[in-house]
Amino acid sequence: MERGTVLSRRCLVISPLLVSAIESAGLNINTVTSRVLAALAEDVHGEDLTSKATIKENQISTARFTTRKNGVVAGTLVAAAVLEECGISQYEILKKDGSEVNAGDVLITCSGDTRAILLAERTALNFLSHLSGIATLTHTWVTSIAETSAKIRDTRKTTPGLRELEKYAVRMGGGTNHRMTLTDGALIKDNHIAAAGSVSAAITRVREEFPHIEIEVEVDNLEQLKEALRTGVDMVLLDNMSIEETKAAVEIAANSATKLESSGGLTLENAHAYAATGVHFLAVGSLTHSAPALDIGLDF
């Protein structure tokens, strides 16, 4: 298989069935294909020397992607795109993204050229393990606040180039997404407030410039919260407030339409206590910036 020729293509050509599955999952096909091509290009600069030396040309094998730990799966469609790019068209996804799995469960089976399977192995596992790790951690957070009305939400603390895939993995774990990009809404943070002069001044300027977008503002104390509420802002982010301060914030905002989001100082140990205060969201950056990979392997 001449990888130099394949990887020089400008776009990944995958089956219509897989394209449809990727788009139905809410992923941009161009994002998936570009990320797959870039990842494979990191691995291949000519040919796989080890496989060429140890495996006969045209040898055929069957392999399984198996999870070695319990978790939640995400990234099977991306792994499938890797397989197809490497020439493996015979595969079956046995566990759909968002499925809870146990150690020993087979996620994907595939058959084809042995060298091609090994060529796809590491890249497919990198996507699958990383995204499943995010989905698994998100599920743990979601489970920790299950008896409350709050939702777990991600942030923009994502791996450069992988934001759409990582936020997809958050959804597969039961979480919700915050902004995908800076154009999806306004989040006025402490530096914006300092530059504008005050909470209300920053909100006013955003409304004047962009009157129809949703505005969220970060506050450090209850006085700033009251100032924000007087403007009728859509959402307030309570930054590094204690549980007692958060309870007070919920009481202050009780008669307004403004939603509240807790951020900073959140852990799995205190998540339920924060969620039980009545806030609408817990913003958890660790979902994407600190999730450990789910242990998944490929074996013939």
- Do 120 and 158 belong together in one domain? no
**d(Cα 42, Cα 40) in Å, to the nearest integer?**
5
pLDDT digits (tens, 9 = 90+) for 36-75: 999 999 988 778 899 989 999 999 999 999 999 999 999 9
Please indicate, yes or no, whether the overall pTM of this predicted structure exceeds 0.85.
yes
Cβ-based neighbour number of residue 57 at 10 Å: 9
Q: What pLDDT score does 23 carry?
A: 97
- Do 53 and 162 belong together in one domain? no
- Do 68 and 113 belong together in one domain? yes
- Do 253 and 274 belong together in one domain? yes
CA-based nearest residue to 138, from 170, 165, 166, 164: 170
Classified as helix, coil or strand, 281 is strand
Cα dihedral 117→123→125→129 (10° resolution): -170
Question: What range does the domain containing 109 cover?
Answer: 3-136+292-299
Q: What pLDDT score does 190 carry?
A: 94
- Do 77 and 207 belong together in one domain? no
Tell me the CATH number at 28. Answer: 3.90.1170.20
Cα atoms in the Cβ-side hemisphere of radius 13 Å centred on 186: 22
**d(Cα 38, Cα 127) in Å, to the nearest integer?**
12
Token pair recorded at residue 63: 């392999």
**Number of domains the chain is built from:** 2
- Do 218 and 163 belong together in one domain? yes
Residues 6+ apart with CB under 8 A from 139: 71, 72, 100, 173, 174
- Do 285 and 148 belong together in one domain? yes
Tell me the CATH number at 285. Answer: 3.20.20.70
**d(Cα 271, Cα 281) in Å, to the nearest integer?**
11
**d(Cα 249, Cα 221) in Å, to the nearest integer?**
9
- Do 69 and 179 belong together in one domain? no
Say if strands 215-219 and 186-188 run parallel, antiparallel, or are unpaired: parallel
Which contiguous run of DSSP H or E holds residue 229? helix 222-230
Q: What is the mean pLDDT of each run of 10 residues along the chain (300 residues)?
A: 37 87 97 96 86 93 98 98 96 98 98 96 98 98 97 97 98 97 96 96 97 97 97 97 98 97 97 98 97 97
- Do 94 and 227 belong together in one domain? no
* Positions marked catalytic: 122, 157, 189, 218, 239
- Do 125 and 152 belong together in one domain? no
Find tokens 């920790």 and name the residue: 144
Token pair recorded at residue 266: 């959140």
- Do 159 and 228 belong together in one domain? yes
Query: Which residues make beta-bridge pairs with 217?
Result: 188, 236
Sheet of strand 106-113: strand arrangement: 90-93, 106-113, 60-67, 296-299
- Do 8 and 116 belong together in one domain? yes
